[in-house]
Amino acid sequence: MNRREFLQTGCGAMMAGAALPCWGATTRPWRPKERLCGFNLLGMFCQTKMAEGDKRIFGYFPEDRFRWMKGWGFNFARLPLDYRFFIKDGDWMQLDDAQLKKLDQAVAYGRKYGIHVNIDFHRAPGYCCNDPMEPKSLFVDPEPQEAFTRLWRALAKRYKGISNDELTFDLVNEPATVKGYDATPARYAAVARRAIAAIREEDAERFIMSDGWLWGNEPVKELRPLPYNVGESVHCYSPHPLTHYGVHQAKEVPVWPPKDWSGTGKEWLEQKYFAAWEPYRQAGDFLHLGEFGFYYRPPHKVVMAWLEDVLKICKERNLGWAMWNLDGKFGLMDNGRTDCVFEDFEGHKLDRQALDLLIKYR
């Protein structure tokens, strides 16, 4: 057993002088004091889209987003990041401190406004569920694996001392069978465990989220039992023909509940989607709905009914959530809808009905 493997067992970390408890020791894993509910913020989401003029992506995180969330009573911001913002001249192994300071500022805004910040790599070295494709695979190639591990090690060291109540990590967004990456649940679990071990060597108590398999839809059985202070992020865009109507070609305008279903919409979600996660929640795994939402093209009345059912289930099961996202075509503001009443809000067009539903069930 090498040093990293020994430290990963937990007991070895204690012998090495770290504060990490042995697996099964009396130290309790971290849990939030209240449900964490809020939004995904896309300030550093995709370098490619920013270059193409996507107005949601600023290359930094504006303070007003944190202020708005605080004013509405939310307490959580997931930051899906593109690693390319944080490296020098395309070199995976060279981090750009000036760019990392922009992430520092987002963490500081979170602390200022009482918003828990969750750092997530939507695009990691060697993997992204969206175009453009990475040149090598995080799941099979040594170079991106090393770059990914080094990146998380650097962030763990950088933010050590900030409590889990204020900051958590989310390893990589939506591992899945995206063409060209040769990903499998077992290969993902191996990458995740290596990154977790690197984080633990720098910050033994940092809480870490791992996204579910197949775009966050299925529990990763290969990662269980979940390591100490690790939870799983659930992503609900189900049923996909409803939430993504208009993104892809569709024959029929969606309705809710689905027309071939005899029960309620809430029952459909409970049986067709959340049932797969329920045994793990009941067993004590920490689960969080890290993404859910809908495109601007489905009828507003339909998505409001779907949204309320999702929120009801989350409240009943004590699941926190982060809507994708705050502004843009999947957002509450400036989404381009023509079938809802907008409220003028600090120079933006705000879907007040959707916001009121979120406030009701936060």
Indicate the helix (H) or strand (E) that contains 222: none
Cβ of 271: how many Cβ atoms within 10 Å?
11
Indicate the helix (H) or strand (E) that contains 282: helix 278-282
Rounded distance, CA 351 to CA 82, Å?
A: 28
Determine the residue type at 83: Y
CA distances from 226 to 29, 199, 205, 222 (A): 11, 15, 14, 9
Cβ of 352: how many Cβ atoms within 10 Å?
15
> Per-residue pLDDT for the chain (362 aa), expressed as one digit of tens each?
332 332 333 333 322 233 333 333 347 899 999 999 999 999 999 999 999 999 999 999 999 999 999 999 999 999 999 999 999 999 999 999 999 999 999 999 999 999 999 999 999 999 999 999 999 999 999 999 999 999 999 999 999 999 999 999 999 999 999 999 999 999 999 999 999 999 999 999 999 999 999 999 999 999 999 999 999 999 999 999 999 999 988 889 999 999 999 999 999 999 999 999 999 999 999 999 999 999 999 999 999 999 999 999 999 999 999 999 999 999 999 999 999 999 999 999 999 999 999 999 99
Rounded distance, CA 255 to CA 264, Å?
A: 12
Residue 65 gets the label, from left (phi > 0), alpha (psi -120 to 50) or beta, of: alpha
Return the closest-CA partner of residue 350 out of 115, 46, 80, 65: 65
Detail the DSSP E strand segments found in 32-181. Answer: 37-40, 76-82, 87-88, 91-95, 116-124, 127-128, 167-170
